[in-house]
Amino acid sequence: MDQKKQQLNLKALVAISSGGAVSSVITTVMLATAQTGRSAWIAYSVSILIGGILRILPVIWFASMFRYKGGNYALVTSTLGEQMGGIYALWWLPMFLSRGMGASAMGEYLKSVFPSVNANLAGIIFTTIAFVINLFGISAMVKVQKKLTLAAGAALLVYVIFGFTKLDAGAFSIGSPSYFLGGGAGLLMATVLVIQGASGPSLVSGFSWESENPRTNIPRAIFLSNLIMLIVCGLVSFTAANIAGGEELYGKALTFSAGKVLPGILFPLFMLIGPFMTLFISMNSGMPSMAAPVVAAIGNGWLPEKIGKTNRYGVPWIIYTVMWLICIIPLMLGVSLRSFTAYTVIAQRTSGMLLLISAFRYPKVYREEWKASRFHMSNYLYYPLLVLIACVELFTLYMSVRSIGISAFIGNLIVVALLALYAIMRYKGKKTNVRILVER
């Protein structure tokens, strides 16, 4: 099936990018409130402005110039060359572990409503449902995504409305020292902890080839999704941290604050349609968006061609199966993926640096396309802006290294080095045949 003919419109792209991105507040609200208390909403707002817009400008700019297949792999390959593109694709592989964290969180949230439920079994079942939906192609995934995103958004709105009726007297006392639990350092750490999830909307660039008018709609979908994130994440985190008696809820999941503000049947309904459904939405859209760079790289020989086989719906079913197994096997064995995900941090940051380095070359490599872009600007503004992004990336890298510890940092370096070495060996051994689909 020709995926390009599917023509995803703006509504579909926003449902894909915002639905998954909003799940970040569900999984990280306890981290933010533990670090900075009442001001968690400020941490989310700053992280969205920096992580959701500033850090992903290289992706937005490229998407405004081209229609392309393979997501950021195509971006890096066409800008920095074949070998760097292969390294980027291999560095992307550890990101698959993040899907497993979502599977575990789904089960835990369901158990918080129904204590008798086996959390691991629930995670396995609903991850499998998302996997099966995606086997029927992008159109099937989008149909489910649109409906569930609206339902989850409505549920989160109900939580906010009821929460605002039970706000603490100091909810709006921003000038109070107690508003920032850990002071400036706490606010900064909370921002760093939630900033990675804020870049989620940029993954929609992986659907550029299947999109309707992608040069306009991909950037627009990213900006609209960030606006949705700013509103939803800001309101939900503000409510969670500022309801009466909320101090005892700092560092705890959304379950606890929801139990305080939602009466009767509304509490279990909210947990099912709100947090749980939001995590399911992230899992649903995450499979194709996370797979896009790897699928393109397989077609170019960076990984064995057999694992890129597609079914009748054009779905790379072996890749999806690998992602599914990464999610369910730890749940079947009762093993937590949290310690393993610490070994993906440097791969995330270094792959982000490749995108930034690519952006430094846009005005020279894509001279005419950049001039025609709606985001074109003077070099006197463009390059200082890139330097600012570089400072943010380096600071985020520094804070990430501090948070994982020296042993995990060394492990990260080994993983990054081995993956890069493998890519270089494939390229030097002439086992690659790079063909990038990019339309100007």
Q: How many residues does the chain have?
A: 440
* 38 within a domain of the structure (yes/no): no
Whether residue 200 has pLDDT greater than 90 = no
* 130 within a domain of the structure (yes/no): yes
Instruction: Taking residues 80-103, report their average pLDDT.
Output: 86
Q: Specify the number of domains making up the chain.
A: 1
Check residue 2 and give its pLDDT.
Answer: 45
* 221 within a domain of the structure (yes/no): no
Provide the pLDDT confidence category of residue 6 given band limits of 50, 70 and 90. Answer: low
Whether residue 339 has pLDDT greater than 80 = no
Q: What is the pTM of this model?
A: 0.89
CB 30, CB 241: distance < 8 Å = no
Q: How far apart are CA 126 and CA 124, in angstroms?
A: 6
Q: How far apart are CA 294 and CA 300, in angstroms?
A: 10
* 401 within a domain of the structure (yes/no): yes
Check residue 342 and give its pLDDT.
Answer: 64
Provide the pLDDT confidence category of residue 1 given band limits of 50, 70 and 90. Answer: very low
Whether residue 296 has pLDDT greater than 80 = yes
Whether residue 4 has pLDDT greater than 60 = no
As a whole-number percent, the residues of the chain with pLDDT over 70 amount to 96
Separation of CA 308 from chain center:
23
- What is the domain extent for residue 305? 3-26+69-167+257-439
* 359 within a domain of the structure (yes/no): yes
* 247 within a domain of the structure (yes/no): no
Provide the pLDDT confidence category of residue 341 given band limits of 50, 70 and 90. Answer: low
- Which tens digits make up the pLDDT trace of 342-368? 667 778 888 889 999 999 999 999 999
Check residue 327 and give its pLDDT.
Answer: 86
* 120 within a domain of the structure (yes/no): yes
Instruction: Taking residues 243-248, report their average pLDDT.
Output: 76
CB 302, CB 319: distance < 8 Å = no
Find the range with the poorest average confidence among 66-70, 89-93, 408-412: 408-412
* 426 within a domain of the structure (yes/no): yes
Residue with the two structure tokens 């894909």: 16
Q: How far apart are CA 161 and CA 278, in angstroms?
A: 18
Instruction: Taking residues 143-165, report their average pLDDT.
Output: 91
- Which tens digits make up the pLDDT trace of 376-433? 999 999 999 999 999 988 888 888 777 777 887 888 889 899 999 999 999 999 999 9
Q: How far apart are CA 212 and CA 192, in angstroms?
A: 34
